[in-house]
């Protein structure tokens, strides 16, 4: 903590003396007599060659660091905005997919309801037809029973008539020799 306080005090004084711990550029001895030292990258001023004061003011570094922070902050905000946009796009796609699925499901339900109503109509129609057929069968059975009863009655009547006619024929045959035929017919007719 004492080193940090000393560094802050040195910075407050404006760093009027060249820092001793700073290495010389391009291998030149510290505090060299040449104001510019040749270097592989070009000509660089030697530390402290410009009167011992730094060549750029401290405020420029503060502005540069402030600009760097602002640019980092702006980059972070842009990244966050891109994340929000992508999340919004995903949610929009998911919502649209869900809406499409719901719409398809609703259409399927409507189709199934239409099929159900159609099938129910067909069932009702078949039930009516079945009831008509059952009524026709019942009527046919009653008619059949009536016709059988009539046939039986006609058979009984025919048998009785046959017996009567046989009796008449027998009576005519017995009386034929006694009475004339036309009188017998009037009597039996």
With a CB cutoff of 8 Å and minimum separation 6, the contacts of 14 are: 53, 58
Contacts of 24 (CB under 8 A, 6+ apart): 30, 32, 37, 46, 47
Kindly provide the b/e burial profile for residues 165-187, where b requires at least 16 CB atoms within 10 angstroms of the residue's own CB. eeeeeeeeeeeeeeeeeeebeee
What token pair was written down for 179? 């009475």
> What is the structure's pLDDT at 57?
54
**In the prediction, which pLDDT does 171 show?**
75
Please report how many Cα atoms fall inside a 13 Å half-sphere around the Cα of residue 18, on the Cβ side: 16
- Is the per-residue pLDDT at 167 higher than 60? yes
Task: Please classify residue 46 by burial: count the beta carbons closer than 10 Å to its beta carbon, then call 0-12 exposed, 13-18 middle and 19+ buried.
Answer: buried
Q: How far apart, in whole angstroms, are the C-alpha atoms of residue 117 and residue 122?
A: 9
**What's the rounded Cα separation, in Å, for the pair 39 and 24?**
11
Greater confidence (12 vs 138) lies with 138
Contact (CB, 8 A) for 52 and 20 = no
Task: Calculate Rg over the CA atoms of the chain.
Answer: 65
47, with CB counted inside 10 A (0-12, 13-18, 19+), is buried
pLDDT tens-digit map of 25-69 = 444 444 544 444 444 445 455 555 555 445 555 555 667 788 888
Tens digits of residue pLDDT in 71-115 = 999 999 999 999 999 999 999 999 999 999 999 999 999 999 999
């Amino acid at each position: 903590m004492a080193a940090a306080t000393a560094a802050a005090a040195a910075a407050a004084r404006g760093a009027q003396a060249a820092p001793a711990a700073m290495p010389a550029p391009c291998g030149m001895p510290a505090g060299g007599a040449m104001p510019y030292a040749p270097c592989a990258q070009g000509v660089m001023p030697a530390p402290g060659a410009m009167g011992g004061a730094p060549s750029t003011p401290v405020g420029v570094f503060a502005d540069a660091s402030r600009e760097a922070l602002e640019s980092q902050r702006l980059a972070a905000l842009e990244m966050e905005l891109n994340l929000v946009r992508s999340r919004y796009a995903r949610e929009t796609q998911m919502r649209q997919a869900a809406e499409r699925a719901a719409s398809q499901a609703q259409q399927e339900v409507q189709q199934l309801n239409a099929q159900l109503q159609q099938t129910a109509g067909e069932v009702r129609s078949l039930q009516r037809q079945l009831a008509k057929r059952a009524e026709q069968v019942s009527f046919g059975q009653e008619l059949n029973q009536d016709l059988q009863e009539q046939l039986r009655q006609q058979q009984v009547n025919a048998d009785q008539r046959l017996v009567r006619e046989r009796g008449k024929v027998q009576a005519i045959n017995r009386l034929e020799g006694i009475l004339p035929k036309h009188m017998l017919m009037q009597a039996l007719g």
